[in-house]
Structure 1
Amino acid sequence: MTSFRHFIVLLVACSVLSAIHALKCMTCQGWTSFEDCDVNGRIKECMPNQNSCETVIRRIHNSRQLIFKQCKEKNTCRENMLQNTRLSGSSTQCNSDQTSSFCTCCCDTDMCNIAASACHPSVVKPLAGNDCPIQPSFLSHGEVTCFNENNAGSVCQYKCSDVDYFVYPVGHETNVCMRNGTWKHETPCCGRSCPPYFVYDFLNLVYVSIPEGRKLIISIFEGWNTANVIAEDAAKSAMLWFGESPIASSAIKFNDYGASKRRQIQLIRDKAVEKKNESVNIGAAINYALDNLMTPEAGMRDERVQRGISIFTDRISDDDAIGPAKQARRLGYNVMVLYVGTEVSNDERKHFNEITGGDELVFYYDHDAGSFGADSWQFLVENFCSSPCDHVMHEHDMV
């Protein structure tokens, strides 16, 4: 039994070492130039028995050249390369004095088949051109590896090292320095899918006096938390119920629940208020929130994070809400109104538009929590998820 254990340990150790030392090769199939091959190909980690990078250059009737790059078992690659000197007509298989040729090259170090190969100088000439701007030495949440630095024909590989991050734009995992001194495309970023990764500080001001309004609001936020990631580098929200005046005992700050969805929902359930029809002073609620909730002390993050105020109401404001809302917008907050009701007058629409600064930020709903928020959700996705690079905390340590 002990010997069997030792065998298993040795087998696992060998597997790990094999994975660590796996050869990496550029791979592509049938491109007409080395530049196109490296731009459109991909860097591949070879199988344990594939310990060579192979490049094949096929020239057809002097008018067309096709490039193939792949991982290959070393002995097989060497045998293919030996065919370069095989007689073909009056010359050899790999030649420059006939209309067609077939050349194979082998190498055995990481990325050794990047750019032009030295298979046969008379058939394949190295790239010559201008240097490109130097690529960054690292990506936030990822890494950059460049082969042949920033010289013409160099290839850079981008890899995201953190969980849930991916290279954006998709397909830009590699980049090539072209002969004119420019990179094939701009340096990508390591981004995350948005949604569910909104990077946003939401303040929710709530006045809902309809029957079972408290239950409706709880359902809305349970749905939101299920669909999104709540974290210090993703979405965070604060909440305040109000009526004639702000209800301080209902306040939930950004830093009251850490990154715990369960804790946040429990706080909403515990502090949600069943409102009756009374005066509604949205302006007073906005002023209270700006002074007490939208602050670093309450857990609001720095300027890297977009900020918004969402006002849930089933009535227009009895006080001046337009002035405080304008002040919030001047401070950089997106102000949204989510009206919960079955009917809305033109005067109410005008009032809400003046609070938000535009009708595209006012959303009207009936009392069905199941369909609540579809339009506002779509607005958020279209306006705050256009580029994952804009929705990533670019340092790990949060302020």
Structure 2
Amino acid sequence: MIQKSCKRPSACGDNFVQNRHEAWSKGGSQIQCNGKPPSSVCRCCCATENCNFGVLDCERGDICPPLEAPEGGYMSCTSGSLPMSVCTFSCPRVYSLIGNRILTCDAYGRWSGNVPKCQRITCPPAMLTPQFGWKRCSDDINWLSVCEFGCEEGYRLHGGQRLQCIEDLDSDPYGLWTRPQPECKQFKPSR
């Protein structure tokens, strides 16, 4: 926030008495700032009364390096790379966010952490083709993939014929299978 006010003509002299530092010249005006963001205090001296009535240029604190959204994800920032900007990150549903969901740019040009990553949700790859059987999956071990199982002749499937990779609600990048690994057991006809 920039605040400015116009005081009596001797205000500049009074300020100098309180703050005896050299001012630097900018466009013919004398300007002095303490340079301690985020709340710099400036003294502006010029030749005529109310000379600072117009818009003042404000040099903000250090700007943070620009950020990019994680690959496959989204980013929304309140003030870009300016000090005190807050950036929020998210991923589409088939991905899990790995890292900080919110980063803040401090007054010294540093982000509060690293850009997070979007990692595709996958299920554990331990779902093997059963011995004496077969397996077909619609999308390997990725989220929402459906795997179907069957057995060779003379064997019967024990467990689910269709399993799906679903989202695990513990917020990690791994899903879980809807049922345990099925197996093929030899079929023994009853007499």
Q: Using structure 2 for the length normalisation, give the TM-score.
A: 0.39
Higher-Rg structure is: 2
RCO comparison, higher one (Cα < 8 Å, 6+) = 2
Higher helix share: 1
Q: TM-score, normalised by structure 1?
A: 0.21
Structure holding more strand per residue: 2
